[in-house]
């Protein structure tokens, strides 16, 4: 099976712009989670989706949003970018209904740089 894929791999944006990141989970996986990783804060949970429904949301401002499509692919959007949004954004999929019980399979990440 193909692994989790994320596009694009690298992105450079300027403050105030918006960005959309895409994640395709492993075939058959219906749960997708998003994480933000920075050197200072480590891995911070953003959201989790299962069958197009958001099951969990982390403590991030409303500028961060996401969705999941019927084919389980997911997108996350960040509007009005700030310098502090520069990070590695990781997507993970799992075979269960989500939550911490499942093993997470991570994609390679999207490196976002905000100038």
Partner 1 sequence: SQQGEEDPQALSIQEGENATMNCSYKTSINNLQWYRQNSGRGLVHLILIRSNEREKHSGRLRVTLDTSKKSSSLLITASRAADTASYFCATDVGGNTPLVFGKGTRLSVIA
Among 14, 16, 43, 69, binds partner 1 (CB under 8 A): 43
If one asks whether residue 111 binds partner 1 (CB under 8 A), the answer comes out as yes
Among 55, 60, 75, 86, binds partner 1 (CB under 8 A): 55
Please state the closest distance from residue 55 (CB atom) to partner 1, in A: 7
If one asks whether residue 79 binds partner 1 (CB under 8 A), the answer comes out as no
If one asks whether residue 59 binds partner 1 (CB under 8 A), the answer comes out as no
Give the integer Cα–Cα distance in Å for 16 and 13.
9
Among 32, 74, 109, 114, binds partner 1 (CB under 8 A): 109
Q: Are 93 and 4 in contact (CB under 8 A)?
A: yes
Closest CA to 48 of 66, 24, 64, 36: 66
Among 21, 76, 81, 98, binds partner 1 (CB under 8 A): 98
Q: What is the 3-state secondary structure (H, E, C) of 43-96?
A: EEEEEEEECCEEEEECCCCCCEEEEECCCCCEEEEECCCCHHHCEEEEEEEECC
Contact residues toward partner 1 (CB under 8 A) are 4, 33, 35, 42-43, 45, 48, 55-56, 58, 88, 90, 92, 97-101, 103-109, 111
């Amino acid at each position: 099976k193909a692994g989790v894929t994320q596009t694009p791999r690298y992105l450079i944006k300027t403050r105030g712009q918006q960005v959309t990141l895409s994640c395709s989970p492993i075939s058959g996986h219906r749960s997708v989670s998003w994480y933000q990783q920075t050197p200072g804060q480590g891995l911070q949970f953003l959201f989790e989706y299962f069958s197009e429904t958001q099951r969990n949301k982390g403590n991030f401002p409303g500028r961060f949003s996401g969705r999941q499509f019927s084919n389980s692919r997911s997108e996350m959007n960040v509007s009005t970018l700030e310098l502090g949004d520069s990070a590695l954004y990781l997507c993970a999929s799992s075979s269960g209904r989500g939550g911490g019980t499942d093993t997470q399979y991570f994609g390679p990440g999207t490196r976002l740089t905000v100038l």
